[in-house]
Chains A and B, each alone.
Chain A
Amino acid sequence: MSIEKYNFSEKNILQFDTSRHQLAITTQGLQVYYGNKHALVDGDLEFERYRITSLIGASGSGKSTYLRSLNRMNDNVAKVEGKILYRGLDVNSSKINVYEMRKHIGMVFQRPNPFSKSIRANITFALKEQGLKDKKKLDEIVEVSLKDAALWDEVKDDLDKSAWSLSGGQQQRLCIARTIAMKPDILLLDEPASALDPISTSKIEETLVELKKRYTIIIVTHNMQQASRISDYTAFFHMGHILEYGKTKNVFTTPQIKATNDYISGNFG
């Protein structure tokens, strides 16, 4: 089956009425280049606060590239142009303190990557690096973040064991706990469940739905059921272009763009 040529100028992108919706982060004219390759063209998206937004699309469509640009994880890898507006600041500006910014915009990766340290140290490590020494406070944060990530009951008696002794799904939830321990505003997740079994996946999904009460979540996923199950909004990426963005229900049931329709009904991808 050959991939049809779509008209990339035909887009259907949701824009929020800011008097009724609070925005967490927006991008304007975001361009990403890997060398000569223009991997993301004109990324214009707005993300509503305390909602889950899914980024879907085939491999190489630019969705991960887009996500990683939001907290500057593409620095030194790709050239990123355009604006990323967060609390009135342009995150993509060279004046931004990236290390400080990443505490506000946290990230969880595709493969679980806990540190080779104890479960407790995985969470306290970055906090200690920031100068938090109070043992009681640290213990409290460990407990709260593990509870938020729905991992506390499984590990509360083994906090000093190595993080690698956990199962893949538990490791991934530990990575989520580690990220939310930093009290970020926005949680970026890059296919967090793609390496996990269905049970672990559904646990992660439950966790995310619970977390959206306090965090803005942007998740890249290959799994369209997952996107439709958990997200409020969905953006469809195709060959570096964002073609459709809207309420998840609308995108999945009444897509306005042919490419979206073809992708969702499994004609390519």
Chain B
Amino acid sequence: MKTKLQNKIALNIIRIIAALVVVILLFLLGDILISGVPHISWHFLTSASQSFESGGGIGIQLFNSVYLLLLTLIISFPISLGAGIFLSEYAPKNLFTSIVRMAIEVLSSLPSVVVGLFGFLLFVVQFQMGFSILSGAIALTFFNLPLLTRNIEESLRAVPNLQREAGMSLGLSKWRTVTRVILPEALPGIITGVVLGAGRVFGEAAALIYTAGQSATNIDFGNWNPFNATSPLNLMRPAETLAVHIWKINSEGVMPDASAVSAGASAVLIIVVLLFNIFARIVGNSLYRKLTATK
């Protein structure tokens, strides 16, 4: 009887803790969405922000956030993929490998303000890149790299060794086995990592204040030549993101509707992260199905 009772108590405590997590999340989400969603309108999502008057939108910041996220992924994903494949499939147990591992651990524990200041000193000042999307994307890459590398390594490792043996025994080289057999199978795990990393990047403010800057210059959505200063695609323009914008209005916003803009922007931030999450999973799952023929 005693073991049965113990089991029951333990189970219920775990249930309560799990429920607590869900309640906290729902409370947070609910609060942000309830206070933010009423301010979201087509005008709010598409128009430029105002510094002194009410009625400003977040169009440019929203675009900047998405653009910055994509740029960061474009830079960090190939590097992480290479590093992850190396660590999981090829790395011998030697000094070099342990240095790589340690570097990744240290990188992942750096505070974002430090990363931002480092990016500011190196890219913005030293390399004279100025406050720019590119500086921001590189700073965020520092951030994303350790997380994504570790995730890719672990996803690859989770694929049973039998699959590697199958590929090798058919006369495939190790490289072909990894890229054509192991990688497709690890895809769902890798996508989870990309989504988690993207959420972190999307919400990051501290590292961007000093690198991508705090001003949203007016951009012309009719001009898609990346070398033009007003083009949305221009890499060298300063680009305030949604998260930086929220931080800025809350710390020094003087427009009359500052709190409304902040609440609306927060809700949009969360919704976009959720949408990205769902989108990445749909794309990833259909890719996985196509590669592995599983229904």
Chain A interface residues toward B at CB < 8 A: 71, 73, 99-103, 106-107, 109, 111, 113-118, 121, 125-126, 129-130, 160-165, 175, 178-179, 182
Instruction: Report yes or no: B169 in contact with A107, Cβ–Cβ below 8 A.
Output: yes
On whether A102 and B165 interact (CB within 8 A), knowing A116-B184, A164-B294, the answer reads no
A178 nearest CB neighbor, chain B only = B170
B291 beta carbon closer than 8 Å to chain A = yes
Q: Which residues of A contact B185 (CB under 8 A)?
A: 116
Instruction: Report yes or no: A117 in contact with B172, Cβ–Cβ below 8 A.
Output: no
Q: Would you list the 5 A-B pairs with minimal beta carbon distance, nearest first?
A: A118-B293, A113-B162, A116-B292, A126-B170, A103-B171
Task: Report B254-295 CB contacts with A as 1/0, cut-off 8 Å.
Answer: 000000000000000000000000000000000000011111
On whether A115 and B181 interact (CB within 8 A), knowing A71-B169, A73-B168, A126-B172, the answer reads yes
Instruction: Report yes or no: A161 in contact with B295, Cβ–Cβ below 8 A.
Output: yes
A113 nearest CB neighbor, chain B only = B162
Instruction: Report yes or no: B293 in contact with A117, Cβ–Cβ below 8 A.
Output: yes
On whether A102 and B169 interact (CB within 8 A), knowing A117-B291, A118-B293, A162-B294, the answer reads yes
B228, chain A: closest CB distance, angstroms: 45
Q: How far is the CA of A73 from the CA of B163 in the complex (A)?
A: 13
Q: How far is the CA of A114 from the CA of B163 in the complex (A)?
A: 7
Q: Given A106-B169, A107-B165, A129-B176, 15 more contacts at CB 8 Å?
A: A73-B168, A99-B172, A103-B170, A107-B169, A111-B162, A113-B160, A116-B185, A116-B291, A125-B170, A126-B167, A130-B171, A163-B293, A178-B170, A179-B170, A182-B170
Task: Report B151-178 CB contacts with A as 1/0, cut-off 8 Å.
Answer: 0000000001011011111111100100
Chain B interface residues toward A at CB < 8 A: 160, 162-163, 165-173, 176, 180-181, 184-185, 291-295
Q: Which residues of A contact B167 (CB under 8 A)?
A: 115, 126
**Most chain B CB within a 10 A radius of its CB, from A106, A115, A125, A130:** A115
Q: Which residues of B contact A100 (CB under 8 A)?
A: 171
Instruction: Report yes or no: A73 in contact with B294, Cβ–Cβ below 8 A.
Output: no
A54, chain B: closest CB distance, angstroms: 20
On whether A102 and B170 interact (CB within 8 A), knowing A115-B181, A116-B184, A129-B176, the answer reads yes
Q: Which residues of B contact A111 (CB under 8 A)?
A: 162
Q: Which residue in B163, B173, B181 is a CB contact (below 8 Å) of A99?
A: B173
B78, chain A: closest CB distance, angstroms: 23
On whether A99 and B169 interact (CB within 8 A), knowing A113-B162, A125-B180, A162-B295, the answer reads no
Instruction: Report yes or no: A182 in contact with B163, Cβ–Cβ below 8 A.
Output: no
B92 nearest CB neighbor, chain A only = A76
Name 11 A/B residue pairs within 8 A (Cβ), A-sorted.
A106-B169, A106-B170, A113-B163, A115-B163, A115-B166, A126-B167, A129-B176, A160-B293, A161-B293, A178-B166, A179-B169
